[in-house]
């Protein structure tokens, strides 16, 4: 009887305690100059008072009948450290809190690849300590229904925490922190081999014909779930009340099963995430790297969909065709330049910094001139350059749709293309295969985005789910 009474008293005491979700913890970074929500659980009707170190005015609220409480606070300009005290029947104190810029780093294995795996990130480990960069790593979790919490803790960037955190995210955050000189919070929410369909709410994934087709044909794999919405439920939904500045995204390899749908899926993901966060935040992403998949056009078409998705407002894409050390490894070993290029977009577009040229040259238009085709490019104000004596990965075709290797001559931001075997050219393709090694760049060293000028049917059909 005494044991039972002790158990009941202990349970009642635990129930009465004010508690917080894991994303609200000591060492965290909160988004500057915005309305943030501090929330958690307690007994119904329990009064909870929240006092933030940057203001002398405490805020009190009564816990609702679902045992949930929440308060809104306005954060100041970047700074800190601060403390936040939450008092109900018990007292919770969060310490060493910074105010700055918070970015979500999401996608699959090339985003997940940690500081202990990427070669250039491993070289950073001995000197990685930076108290103005903080990490939050979300554990993998797929669920059928939206969750209210994730496991995890905020950690100061150092040689230990970097070992288990996204290398791309780290290099992105490091450049932001060095340039802006303010605290940076990074949330690593990645899952190797994951489908974009799983990161989108199921109702959205099944809403459009293209996304529904993609969701219904996701191949089975032992390393990631193949159901729509389950990663959104388990990993995204619990943190949507935590304000962020924006998202960086590295994913697409898994969605090659339905490359044409990837464009609509990207729109669906960005729109749905912006909706649940109630913020039109920037979304910067990585075009998938060259790798010898062995297919003819699936990978090229996936990259094409990624390029088209740049029509999303406040979005941007970096190209990685020059950042691959081994075409037979789907995980390029170096991530520093990937993070730096993403940061270039954020610094220029989100923070208004003068970082020089940060966009890759992009095909704009073509003009047939006899037996040649002249291509014009955007984002090459100082012209194009060739690394090597002959251009690689360039093809030209007549109306018979048979492509031949092409030659080229650079004139400023235009490219004159021809082949002695093609007399009446109508189309050009550049880097349009699974593992291209192109050598055409802007003068600033950014690779030209792979492209094709035609819209001919590639014969792609979704890979059926076995």
pLDDT in tens, 141-172: 999 999 999 999 999 999 999 999 999 999 99
> What is the arithmetic mean of pLDDT over 286-313?
97
Judge whether residue 28 has pLDDT over 90.
yes
Residue 16: what pLDDT?
Answer: 60
Judge whether residue 33 has pLDDT over 90.
yes
Cα 426 from Cα 400, distance rounded (Å): 9
Q: Which domains does the chain have, with CATH numbers?
A: 29-99 (2.60.40.10), 101-351 (3.40.50.1110), 362-452 (no CATH)
Q: What is the DSSP letter of 117?
A: T
Residue 12: what pLDDT?
Answer: 41
Cα-Cα-Cα-Cα dihedral sign, residues 202, 297, 193, 315: negative
> Tokens standing for 112?
């997940």
Judge whether residue 13 has pLDDT over 60.
no
Residue 6: what pLDDT?
Answer: 40
Residues 6+ apart with CB under 8 A from 93: 83, 84, 85, 86
Residue 465: what pLDDT?
Answer: 43
pLDDT digits (tens, 9 = 90+) for 343-355: 999 999 999 999 9
Split at pLDDT 50, 70, 90, the class of 9 is very low
Residue 56's φ and ψ, nearest 5 degrees, are: -90, 0
Split at pLDDT 50, 70, 90, the class of 56 is confident
Split at pLDDT 50, 70, 90, the class of 7 is very low
Cα 61 from Cα 329, distance rounded (Å): 54
Q: Are 73 and 55 in contact (CB under 8 A)?
A: yes
> What is the arithmetic mean of pLDDT over 296-303?
96
> What is the arithmetic mean of pLDDT over 235-244?
98
Judge whether residue 360 has pLDDT over 90.
yes
Q: What is the DSSP letter of 26?
A: T
> What is the arithmetic mean of pLDDT over 373-388?
97
- Give me the percent of the chain exceeding a pLDDT of 70: 96
Split at pLDDT 50, 70, 90, the class of 463 is low
Q: Are 210 and 255 in contact (CB under 8 A)?
A: no
Instruction: For residue 147, count CB atoms less than 10 angstroms from its CB and return exposed for 0-12, middle for 13-18, buried for 19 or more.
Output: middle
pLDDT digits (tens, 9 = 90+) for 182-213: 999 999 999 999 999 999 999 999 999 999 99
Alpha-helical segments (H) within 290-424: 298-308, 336-345
Split at pLDDT 50, 70, 90, the class of 461 is confident
Residue 4: what pLDDT?
Answer: 42
Q: Is the pTM of this model over 0.85?
A: yes
Q: Are 458 and 256 in contact (CB under 8 A)?
A: no
Per-chain mean pLDDT for the chain? 95
Of 9-23, 41-55, 69-83, 317-331, the range with the lowest mean pLDDT is 9-23
Distances (CA, A) of 158 to 115, 338, 345: 11, 21, 26
Cα 100 from Cα 79, distance rounded (Å): 7
């Amino acid at each position: 009887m005494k044991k039972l009474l002790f158990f009941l008293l202990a349970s009642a005491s635990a129930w009465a305690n004010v508690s917080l979700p894991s994303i609200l913890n000591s060492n965290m970074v909160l988004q500057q100059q915005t309305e943030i929500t501090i929330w958690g659980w307690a007994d119904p009707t329990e009064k909870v008072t929240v006092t933030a170190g940057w203001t002398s005015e405490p805020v009190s609220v009564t816990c609702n009948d679902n045992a949930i409480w929440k308060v809104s606070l306005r954060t100041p300009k970047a700074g800190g450290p601060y403390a936040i005290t939450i008092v109900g029947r018990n007292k919770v104190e969060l310490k060493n809190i910074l105010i700055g810029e918070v970015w979500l780093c999401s996608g699959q294995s090339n985003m997940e690849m940690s500081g202990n795996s990427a070669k250039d990130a491993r070289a950073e480990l001995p000197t990685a300590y930076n108290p103005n960069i903080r990490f939050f790593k979300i554990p993998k979790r797929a669920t059928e229904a939206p969750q209210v919490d994730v496991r995890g803790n905020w950690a100061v960037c150092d040689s230990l925490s970097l070992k288990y955190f996204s290398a791309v995210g780290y290099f992105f955050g490091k450049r932001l922190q060095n340039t802006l000189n303010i605290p940076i919070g990074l949330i690593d929410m990645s899952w190797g081999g994951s489908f974009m369909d799983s990161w989108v709410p199921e109702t959205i994934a099944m809403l459009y014909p293209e996304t529904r087709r993609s969701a219904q044909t996701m191949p089975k794999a032992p390393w990631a779930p193949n159901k729509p919405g389950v990663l959104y439920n388990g990993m995204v939904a619990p943190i949507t009340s935590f304000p962020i500045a924006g998202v960086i995204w590295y994913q697409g390899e898994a969605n090659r099963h339905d490359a044409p749908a990837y464009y609509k899926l990207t729109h669906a993901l960005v729109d749905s995430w912006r909706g649940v966060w109630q913020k039109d935040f920037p979304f910067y992403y990585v075009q998938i790297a060259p790798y010898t998949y062995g297919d003819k056009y699936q990978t090229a078409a996936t990259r094409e969909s990624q390029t088209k998705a740049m029509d999303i407002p406040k979005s941007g894409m970096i190209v990685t065709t020059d950042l691959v050390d081994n075409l037979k490894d789907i995980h390029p070993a170096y991530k520093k330049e990937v993070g730096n290029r993403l940061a270039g977009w954020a610094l220029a577009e989100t923070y208004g910094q003068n970082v020089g040229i940060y966009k890759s040259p992009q095909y704009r238009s073509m003009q047939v001139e006899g037996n040649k085709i002249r291509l014009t490019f955007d984002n090459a104000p100082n012209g194009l350059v060739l690394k090597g004596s002959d251009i690689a990965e360039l093809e030209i075709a007549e109306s018979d749709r048979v492509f031949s290797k092409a030659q080229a001559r650079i004139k400023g931001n235009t490219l004159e293309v021809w082949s002695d075997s093609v007399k009446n050219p109508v189309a050009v393709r550049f880097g349009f295969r699974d593992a291209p090694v192109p050598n055409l760049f802007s003068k600033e060293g950014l690779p030209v985005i792979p492209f094709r000028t035609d819209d001919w049917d590639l014969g792609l059909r979704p890979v059926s789910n076995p």
